[in-house]
A and B are shown apart, each in its own frame.
Chain A
């Protein structure tokens, strides 16, 4: 399975470079590859315009789609392990709703297109900060909430229980959602449309700055999460069991929460709210490769990247030259497919 996904990755990335409203044939893109790799524009004038489209628009967009999909799916796998719940997704710790609120605040207060930092717009920076702040609040509140004997784990003295964090996460998500609605209520029509489009996810803002920002945050965070695969496996046995096995449970929880928050806040900041990928990709792959996190997280990262590149290709070709929000595509295609697989699985029986 990982080999198959690994082989598909360059093909799908190449497809991402070939598809778009301006027709550029695959051989043409292929002839540009040496230039893309050496980042020198071709000298022949007939290649120059298509090179500009591929280099400036499609390349950052395709790779950003891969990075975001990959980061979301891997984060989902890690959160499902941490919460020992195959229906958890990265937004469970409040990061998505926090980022959403941060983006709205930025759009309403300073306007969407003004560069505030390193060529990144206020919207991106606002979303990134909002996402991290929300997770920080959830984590702190969960740590300071005394646990009752019923919900508290044996390890209550050494950090917070994931059950409390789940509940606080739900509360913070609701609160941020309400604040978001309040902002939408006071916003003018243009701003409102911008906020709601962003909430559907989209990669149309992709550029080199965003791609570099993503590469420097999402990739290291993904690597650190992936390295915890053995501890995550042990954690599936239960928090006390993992503790007896020698896992430093509170350290592991903190590490995973911070890294997932970084990866997801960055993803949401760069590409808006994209549902489905973080929940369903690891869930489906668990049926194929089993629950062991070494394989599961590797395959999730590869499949999440492939899925989002393909979804983005559809998003910009289905109603070309207009574009669908990519979050809509992932949900419309993914949800029925997921239901189909669940039913298929039931009729064949488990194992």
Chain B
């Protein structure tokens, strides 16, 4: 694939004598959504953290065929955004102000930044909360606000265009969202993918991954068990291997995507 925007080449990460990521090879193409799956402690977060150069990994990670360390912080931030699993923000910013913080790497000016923020507020269904204090929001509302913030980081202008080859890393972005917001977020992300954005998203809901992701990667104990299309990855055998539970895989009655049925 020539349009690979993010490439992991035998990436390993050790910390405190523990091996968190072992020899992972993975690629993410422009416009695609990659679901990163696996049980707790499988190394999903550690793998994403390697991308932003915050951990001393071995191996290679190439962003648009260049080492991530070769970008200046501002250059990098315009094409690579990351939403961590948990963010603690104790200062009384309004929802709008939090989203505006995502404009940090850009010098587009207040008017453009406000226009972008307005559109994101609408997209994330946050318009009625725009003036509310972030600390007074529910967990799900905070998560949507933070999502709008990382999206605003990658947007170039008031037409909501993004630089081709941009990469968005999301660590469990739907963990606090209700069913309706889970779907609307995934649909919104697919729209950004259609505009060229590559998304790597850590998910626990295998059915959500099967329904929306173009590619899946299943990790266990730091190792990549299998990567490929949802049909190839979400199988009874691989799930037994990764999670140690028995499941049945049906075809979704409407979409024919794999549907995981647990045996309780």
Contacts and interface: CB of A to CB of B under 8 A. Distances in A.
Interface of A: 84, 86, 149, 154-155, 157-158, 230-231, 233-234, 236-238, 240-241, 243-248, 286, 290-292, 350-351
Contacts of A292: 93, 97
Given A236-B89, A290-B97, A246 B54 contact: no
A230 B54 contact: no
Contacts of A233: 101, 104
Given A154-B54, A154-B55, A351-B136, A245 B91 contact: no
B105 interface: yes
Interface string B6-44: 000000000110000000000000000000000000000
Nearest to A81: B91
B136 A240 contact: no
A290 B54 CA distance: 31
Contacts of B92: 286, 290-291, 350-351
A237 B88 CA distance: 7
Given A291-B93, A292-B97, A246 B74 contact: yes
A230 B77 CA distance: 15
Size class of the contact patch on chain B: 35 or more
Name the 5 nearest CB pairs between A and B, nearest first: A246-B77, A291-B91, A246-B105, A246-B73, A154-B54
Contact of B77 (A149, A244, A286): A244
A141 B101 CA distance: 32
Interface string B68-84: 00000110111011101
B105 A240 contact: no
Contacts of B222: none
B93 A290 contact: yes
Given A230-B104, A350-B133, A241 B16 contact: no
Nearest to B75: A246
Contacts of A236: 89, 91, 93
A241 B81 CA distance: 9
Contacts, number: 82
A206 B93 CA distance: 40
B89 A238 contact: yes
A154 B54 CA distance: 6
B165 interface: no
Given A245-B102, A245-B104, A246-B105, 12 more contacts: A154-B55, A157-B56, A233-B101, A237-B149, A238-B87, A238-B89, A244-B52, A244-B77, A286-B92, A290-B97, A350-B133, A351-B133
8 contacts: A236-B89, A236-B91, A236-B93, A238-B87, A243-B73, A246-B73, A246-B104, A351-B133
A154 B89 CA distance: 17
Nearest to B136: A351
Nearest to B81: A244
B127 to A, nearest CB: 18
Given A286-B92, A291-B92, A350-B133, A247 B97 contact: no
